[in-house]
Amino acid sequence: MTTENFKNSVIALAIGLIMASCGGGGGNQQSGTATSEEAKVETKTNDYANQELFTKLSASDWQKVVKANYDFDLTIPSGWTFAEGEKDNRNPSYWIAFKTEADDFKAAVTTLHQYWFDLTASIIPADGNFNIEMEIVTNDKGDAIGRKDVKGERITELTLNKFIDELQPQLWYFNTPKGAVQISFSAVERGEYVRISLVYMGEKAE
């Protein structure tokens, strides 16, 4: 090997080592791309306010979903646990089911019903729980051009319906900092679970 060829070999080897140390190979670039894609998927998974329709809830995320979509903290009293839940409308609307192992199911349901009624009334105490009424919107000529939801009669307490032996109402509305929310409550004794539906109604009812 001549001196000139030896110099060329050394230079080529040095260039190869520099490229390798700088991550010039395709393998390192592909690894970086995969990590980026994984981060995007994780971000989408945690975007609780923009879940796809029919997304299933879990025991670890149902409270985060309620907070993100309705801006209040939904909790449950001792003796109840999350069972299942799902997004069933885009407005957004979710249903969530809870189960209990209490010996007296009816008594447990009564306690839970009252617990949630008091909880929603306390979010904005000045508004409390209430009914919604439809108001016709008119133009300057008095012509009806639409309708809007307005706050109706305030509901100050639950009452016992003696005919069905259940507390009423099972549907009411309340305001949160984000807007008005409808909650409906139902219990299934055979399965010993309670199911609620939460529907975002839009701007706060005034």
pLDDT digits (tens, 9 = 90+) for 21-31: 444 444 444 44
Query: What is the secondary structure of 123-153 as a DSSP string?
Result: TSTTT-EEEEEEEEEE-TTS-EEEEEEEEEE
Rounded Cα distance between 39 and 37, Å, is 5
Cα atoms in the Cβ-side hemisphere of radius 13 Å centred on 146: 3
Q: How do strand 166-168 and strand 129-138 relate by DSSP bridges? A: unpaired
pLDDT at 3: 47
Phi (first) and psi of residue 82, to 5 degrees: -65, 140
Instruction: Give the residue-averaged pLDDT of 60-73.
Output: 97
Instruction: Give the residue-averaged pLDDT of 71-92.
Output: 96
Place of tokens 């999350």: 82
pTM equals 0.74
pLDDT digits (tens, 9 = 90+) for 85-118: 999 999 999 999 999 999 999 999 999 999 999 9
